[in-house]
Amino acid sequence: MQTSSNSWLIKHVQTIVSDQIVEGSVVVEDGKIAKIIEGDAIPAPYEQLETVDGLGGWLLPGFIDMHVHGGGGADFMEANREAYETITRFHASKGTTRMLATTVTASPEAIAAVLEATHAYRDGDDMPNTVLQGVHLEGPFISEKWPGAQNPAFIVTPQVEWIQAWNEQYPGLMKQITFAPEKENAIALTEYLAESGIVAAAGHTDALYSQVVDAADAGLTQAVHTFNAMRGLHHREPGTVGAVLTDHRIHAELIADGHHVHPAAIRLLVAAKPRDRVILITDAMSAAGLGDGQYDLGGLVVDVADGVARLRDGGALAGSTLTMIDAFRFMLAHTGLSVAEVSQMASGNPARQLGIDDVTGSIAEGKLADLVLTDTSFTDVRRTWVEGRQIFG
């Protein structure tokens, strides 16, 4: 057989293939996974290829982060290429191959600026690091009772016409919108999002159990940072959390850093939800990758101490300094889940929610070579590739 000049091989890796661990090699050709080889022997057509030695580490599908505000000292709300390259370069070094540029509750002008900047970034000749798959609007249609680290000055009732106008101006760019489903016009918004192929997500919400179920009937399919900034579980009024745990139409985002959600609550979540309904996210802010100190999130002052970000005014958790590789390792340490199961939550499930699981999110012949190579303990990311192009390592 003939091999392309754009072919290469990574050997001596443990790879997740169809929920199984395959020890061997993977051949990449023209940006796609061309061959998965079990065992140490390299077949003749491939033995002359440029080779990366995985040294017995793990080769995983690249992580897909649906909820991330920034990193490396930059925030998507800055709405410029320099910030976007800083953020995507940092998260590439932690194994993330695709992400959604996530906004905060802000003025419509500030949100529109992020949409324009992301459109321009995606439309350019080069996205050199992690791919911006689109935009996630977190707010401003949220509950005044559960603002979390969102600026309450910009909270408004759902404005379906704003979303329609932005969707017409930037078709396909908005991938997820977070809102409180109990608010006026929320069901109309949910129906529009479902019709438009945009993930409708409940977050920063005081919704009753029945209100979340009604929203799921209308097309709501995701819950944002489950347990955080939402009405909790009560045995007579199950609330937002009760609906998320029991309605399996809803995918549950999870910040697995040990600060946002207790390990016991994480185990409760993964016991309650099907494996394909949990999505690991970082909710990372600009402080991710940097040290303790003072930072800004949507115009609010955030203090980071011992890696935990909190609003100076009130002390609410303000995003995180988490990375996807750290979330991956935390889940393995605290849940009893297998590597394959955690990989599904970090890659396969978000790929399916974004409608890109036919080309990425898992390792299979014919899929894009969005890959991350780690050491055996998932402590270090050694290399990251997007469509076969090395973006870190």
Strands 58-61 and 7-17: parallel
Query: Which conformational region is residue 366 in: left (phi greater than 0), alpha (psi within -120 to 50 degrees), or beta?
Result: left
Q: Which two tokens stand for residue 87?
A: 């953020």
Rounded CA-CA distance 393/384 in Å is 7
The 10 Å CB-count burial string (b at 16+, else e) for 64-79 is: bbbbbbbbbebbbbbb
Coil, strand or helix at 15: strand
Residues in contact with 144: Cβ distance below 8 Å, sequence separation at least 6, in sequence order: 152, 155
The radius of gyration computed from the CA coordinates of the chain, to the nearest angstrom, equals 20
* Active-site residue, 283 included: yes
Q: Which is nearest to 223 in space by CA: 174, 273, 169, 173?
A: 273
φ, ψ dihedrals at 29, nearest 5°: -140, 125
Q: Is 138 annotated as a binding residue?
A: yes
Query: Is 254 marked as a binding-site residue?
Result: no
Instruction: Confirm whether residue 228 is marked as ligand binding.
Output: yes
**DSSP string spanning 213-231?**
HHHHHHT--EESSTTTTB-
Tell me if 114 sits within 8 A of 87, measured CB to CB: no
Q: Which two tokens stand for residue 365?
A: 């012949």
* Residue 204 annotated as lining a ligand binding site: yes
Task: Tell me if residue 331 falls in helix, strand or coil.
Answer: helix
Question: Which pair of tokens denotes residue 355?
Answer: 């409608």
The span from the CA of 254 to the CA of 224, in Å, is 8
Q: Which residue has the tokens 């012949």?
A: 365
Give the whole-angstrom CA distance, residue 324 versus residue 94.
7
CA distance 180 to 187: 10
Q: Rounded to an integer, what distance in angstroms lies between the CA atom of residue 73 and that of residue 148?
A: 21
Q: Is 235 assigned to a binding site?
A: no
According to the annotation, is 91 in a ligand binding site? no
Asked if residue 236 belongs to a known ligand binding site, the reply is yes
CA nearest 123: which of 112, 110, 134, 109? 134
- Please check if 229 is assigned to a binding site: yes
Query: Is 284 annotated as a binding-site member?
Result: no
Q: How far is CA 43 from CA 20, 46, 107, 163, in A?
A: 22, 6, 58, 53
| Set 65, 75, 206, 283: catalytic member | 283
Annotated binding site for Zn(2+): 138, 204, 225
Residues with a known catalytic role: 283
Annotated binding site: 138, 149, 204, 225, 228-229, 236, 260, 317-319
Annotated binding site for substrate: 149, 228-229, 236, 260, 317-319
